């Protein structure tokens, strides 16, 4: 994951537009410029791949890639580029195709862009974070805080298993090596705090797990750390423990820096819930048995 500084962040923000209903969107040709694509035909190939990925993900392509037509004035390098009407010169115009892109469409585009471009990596960071925030907002809109915590904690359990497997394949074998690997990620995300530091700051008992005493926002930040590290270990072909530790720290640190740029609360400054995940689970199960109505539990 690339470093996302204020300049690059603002470059993506500056071309964001809003429809009359308040929905945000990006024009494909403007995004192409930010992503340093000179030839539209080359960028259009990236759009085609992104559309395919959208369809394969089960989404309606036309909802995320809205084709629009524009009239542009052709650049006049000589008088041959203009036609005479009486004594006035009228520049030629051309009808071009563009797309109004949703945030998800932009995310798919940068995922399918040229990985050799540093700005593509920066775009992946920006739109991944923005997409994750939107997914959380949309999906959890009707849930209370306890339900959000249950769902995200369940997702983290699954992703942690995938991360452990990826770390093992990268050479993180022993319990001690895995502890160092885990600490690397937390230190990157929490500004230097290791697991023991977070545990102490939250005032937890010896066997209590820090993930079980996080609110939904803090859990989401860690879910993103875990999922992105798992992806990086695989895609980069990392094959030794030190590189795996460095990758975990780097991913987490970039997420932290992006959070700073976006002005969101850093994880160490978020409140610690009074109830653990286990307590909430027991309460929800008790409600389930009493009401005999299905509840949304991520097991």
Q: Is residue 159 part of a domain?
A: yes
Phi (first) and psi of residue 207, to 5 degrees: -95, 0
Q: Is the pLDDT of residue 221 over 60?
A: yes
Q: Is residue 248 part of a domain?
A: yes
Question: What is the total count of domains within the chain?
Answer: 2
Question: Which region among 54-63, 139-148, 253-262, 265-274 has the lowest average model confidence (pLDDT)?
Answer: 139-148
**Residues 58-76 pLDDT 10s:** 888 899 999 998 877 766 5
Q: Is residue 299 part of a domain?
A: no
Q: At 208, is the pLDDT very low, low, confident or very high (cuts 50, 70, 90)?
A: very high
> Are 107 and 151 found together in one domain?
no
Q: Over range 184-210, report the average pLDDT.
A: 97
Show the domain range for 101: 6-111
Q: Is residue 131 part of a domain?
A: no
> Are 94 and 161 found together in one domain?
no
- Is 146:219 a contact under the CB 8 Å cutoff? no
- Cα separation, 272 vs 261, in Å, equals 23
> Are 105 and 155 found together in one domain?
no
| Most distant pair of Cα atoms in the chain: their distance | 89
* Count of Cβ atoms closer than 10 Å to residue 166 Cβ: 19
Q: Is the pLDDT of residue 178 over 90?
A: yes
pLDDT value of residue 80 = 45
> Are 176 and 267 found together in one domain?
yes
Looking at 94, 111, 128, which one is the last position of a domain? 111
**Residues 107-153 pLDDT 10s:** 889 888 877 777 887 777 777 766 666 665 665 566 788 888 887 88
**Residues 75-108 pLDDT 10s:** 655 444 444 445 445 557 788 889 999 988 998 8
pLDDT value of residue 6 = 46
> Are 50 and 187 found together in one domain?
no
**Residues 11-56 pLDDT 10s:** 888 899 998 888 899 999 999 999 989 999 999 989 998 898 888 7
> Are 176 and 82 found together in one domain?
no
Strand partners, 17: 25
> Are 274 and 173 found together in one domain?
yes
> Are 177 and 273 found together in one domain?
yes
Looking at 67, 93, 111, which one is the last position of a domain? 111
> Are 96 and 225 found together in one domain?
no
pLDDT value of residue 177 = 96
Q: Is residue 123 part of a domain?
A: no
Q: Is residue 83 part of a domain?
A: yes
């Amino acid at each position: 994951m690339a470093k996302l500084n204020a300049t690059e962040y603002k470059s993506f923000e500056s071309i964001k537009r809003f429809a009359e209903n308040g929905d945000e969107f990006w024009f494909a040709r403007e995004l192409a410029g930010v992503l340093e694509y000179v030839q539209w035909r080359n960028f259009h190939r990236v759009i085609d791949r992104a559309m395919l990925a959208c369809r394969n993900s089960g989404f309606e392509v036309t909802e995320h890639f809205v084709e629009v037509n524009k009239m542009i004035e052709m650049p006049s390098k000589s008088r041959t580029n203009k036609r005479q009407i009486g004594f006035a010169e009228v520049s030629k115009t051309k009808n071009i195709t563009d797309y109004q892109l949703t945030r998800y469409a932009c995310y798919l585009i940068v995922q399918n862009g040229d990985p050799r471009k540093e700005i593509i990596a920066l775009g992946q960071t920006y739109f991944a974070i923005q997409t994750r925030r939107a997914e959380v907002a949309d999906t959890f809109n009707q849930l209370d805080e306890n339900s959000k915590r249950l769902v995200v904690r369940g997702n983290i359990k699954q992703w942690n298993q995938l991360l452990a497997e990826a770390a093992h394949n990268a050479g993180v074998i022993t319990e001690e090596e895995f502890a160092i690997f885990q600490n690397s990620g937390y230190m990157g995300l929490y500004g230097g705090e290791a697991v023991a530091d977070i545990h102490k700051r939250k005032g937890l008992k010896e066997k209590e797990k820090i993930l079980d005493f996080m609110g939904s926002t803090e859990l989401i930040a860690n879910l993103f750390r875990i999922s992105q590290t798992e992806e990086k270990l695989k895609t980069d072909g990392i094959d030794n423990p030190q590189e795996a530790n460095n990758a975990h720290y780097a991913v987490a640190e970039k997420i932290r820096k992006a959070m700073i740029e976006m002005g969101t609360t850093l994880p160490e400054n978020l409140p610690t819930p009074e109830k653990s995940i286990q307590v909430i689970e027991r309460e929800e199960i008790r409600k389930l048995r009493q009401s005999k109505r299905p509840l949304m539990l991520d097991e």
